[in-house]
Structures are given as C-alpha cells and as structure tokens.
Amino acid sequence: MNEQQISEKIKELLIENLGIEAEVLTDEIPLFGDGIGLDSIDSLEMIAAIDKEFGVSMTGVGKEPFYNVASLTKYVAEHL
Amino acid sequence: MKKLLSELADRCLGALIHAAYFIWTGISHVLYLPKVTYEDETVKDKLKGPCILIANHTSHSDGSFIPQVFWRKKINVLVTTKWYDKKMLHIFFSHLRYIPINLKEMDNSWIEKAVELIRKGESVLIFPEGKLSKDGTLGEFHPGFLMLARLTDVPVIPLAVSGGYRKFHRQSIAVGSVNTFDVHAKGRPSVVLKEGASSCRQQIEDMLQATKSAG
C-alpha cells in the first residue's frame, strides 16, 4: 500500500467514523482546534479505526502524528 | 541487587501507605458520618459490579471520601497530573487507586488504564467538570467518561455529594439512577457524547436540588 492509498483510506475512515465533510478534508487541514475542530475524545475513535484498518497501534503516541491527514499518513506508512 | 532492594523498599512503602489509608478510612467515617441515599434501590446491585461513577466536585476531599464511603468497591479515581505529579502527593497517588490525566495535552493514556481496570472488575470515579467548583455551581461536563462507557459498556452512575466536610456533621452522598444515554449513538464522539454529558450534568443538578430541598 503506497502513501496515496493510505491517505485516501484515512480520509474515508475520518469521514465515516467522525462525520467530517469530504469537501473540507484535505491532506493539510489541521484536524484539531481551528481546523476541523476534533478533540481528544475523537482521537480515540481515530486510534481504534486506524488500528482496525491498518493494524497500526497509535496508543500512547504524542499529538504530532494527529496534526493532519498528511502526518497521519506518514505515521501509518512508517509503521505498517 | 540494587534494583531488588529498591523494589522491596517500594513495596514496604506501599504497604505502609495502604495501612495509613485504611486507618484514614475509619477516621473519615467517624469525622464525616457518611449518609448514602439511593434514588433507585436497584442501583445497589449495579454498584456491586464494575461501573463508572461520576460526581460533582466541590472539595479536594471528594477524591478520597467517595472511595472511602464505598470502601468495599475497588474505585480508581481520575486525578489531574497537576496534583498527581506533585512530589509528596505522587507517593500516595501512585500507591493507591488513582489514575493520572493530563488535561493540557491530548492525553488518552488514562482511558487505556481505566478500560484495563474496568475489565478486571474494578470501577472508576470521574469528576466530569475536570476541576473544583468553589461556589458549588455545576460547570460543564467533559464527555470523556461517556467514551469510557462506550468502550466498556458498564453503567454510568451519578453521585451528588453535599460537600462542606464539616467535622461531626453528616456528609451525604445521593446515588442516582443509571444514566440511560445511548453511548453508542452514531456520530462524532465529541459532539454526540457532549449531549450525553449534558444530560448527566442535569441529572446531578436535579439530585443536588432534591438533596437541598430534603434539608
């Protein structure tokens, strides 16, 4: 699975599990705070979905990989 | 050898702290004469198993008093790292049933720990306001406890603590009915569960009013 495919899959997971609108979900938009507006509770849903889909555990990692879709993709690609 | 000695010293310290806590539990019962009332008697059965207890928070004593009142249950209390990491307090917190949570970071380690303990049959006490309310007014509830309920499927039981902690005056705890909010409702957890947290807040608010009216 290349980075492009991982990125698309992550977007699908975020749209499906967190109800984010597809049009606003770019690779660069911050997922938390002023961007999409997710909070730490949502990150748990994200962690569970990524673990289920890719078998990559993000439990206990810092907040940097959760910054945006690009950083999530990079983390997943490095830990696949 | 050094490691072994250090482990032994830590175990001895732990045993001492547990003994002191046990004595303190007895003293608390004498000083604050706890009175527990139940809105719904069937909750007593739910309290026998693992559950998530949520309560209003008007005193630092709440975090020790509630587990002391329900001393037969293994209750783990969520405490902010602001207190957990203080040098002297850390020794006590780390040897007793307390789970640290860093409210300033995206800290999810507490929920993993809490899930693990609930699966072992223990319970977790959370103050959903995340801070003390000095004037007794209930603040906004953070929905983390409902995420924990979603992950564990254990009942969420609200407690209304009268507070004050005047020595030799009855300190009452009202135990409410199990909250019925559907924690598995579809949608973004931070939005959906916030609605649930708000309903739990209202439940405790009503219990506090009822306690006041009853005198």
Digit-coded pLDDT (tens) for B10-62? 899 999 999 999 999 999 999 999 999 999 999 999 999 999 999 999 999 99
Of B143, B130, B141, nearest to B191 by C-alpha is: B143
Q: Tell me what pLDDT residue B215 has.
A: 65
Question: How far apart, in whole angstroms, are the C-alpha atoms of residue B46 and residue B48?
Answer: 5
CA distances from B152 to B52, B85, B94, B97, B120 (A): 10, 27, 24, 19, 11
Domain housing A75: 3-79
pTM of the predicted model, to two decimals? Answer: 0.87
* Residues in A touching B143 (Cβ below 8 Å): 41
Total number of domains in chain A: 1
Q: Tell me what pLDDT residue B161 has.
A: 93
A66 → closest Cβ in B106, B188, B189: B106
- Predicted ipTM? 0.77
> Cβ–Cβ of A41/B147 closer than 8 Å?
yes
Give mean pLDDT, residues A54-78.
90
pLDDT band of residue B63 (cuts 50, 70, 90) is very high
Whether B105 contacts chain A with CB within 8 A: yes
Burial-class residue B166 by CB neighbours within 10 Å (0-12, 13-18, 19+): exposed
| CATH number of the domain within which A75 lies | 1.10.1200.10
A43 → closest Cβ in B106, B143, B187: B106
Domains of chain B: 2-214 (3.40.1130.10)
Percentage of chain A surpassing pLDDT 70? 100
pLDDT of B180 > 80? The answer is yes
> Cβ–Cβ of A42/B188 closer than 8 Å?
yes
Which two tokens mark B38? Answer: 């139940």
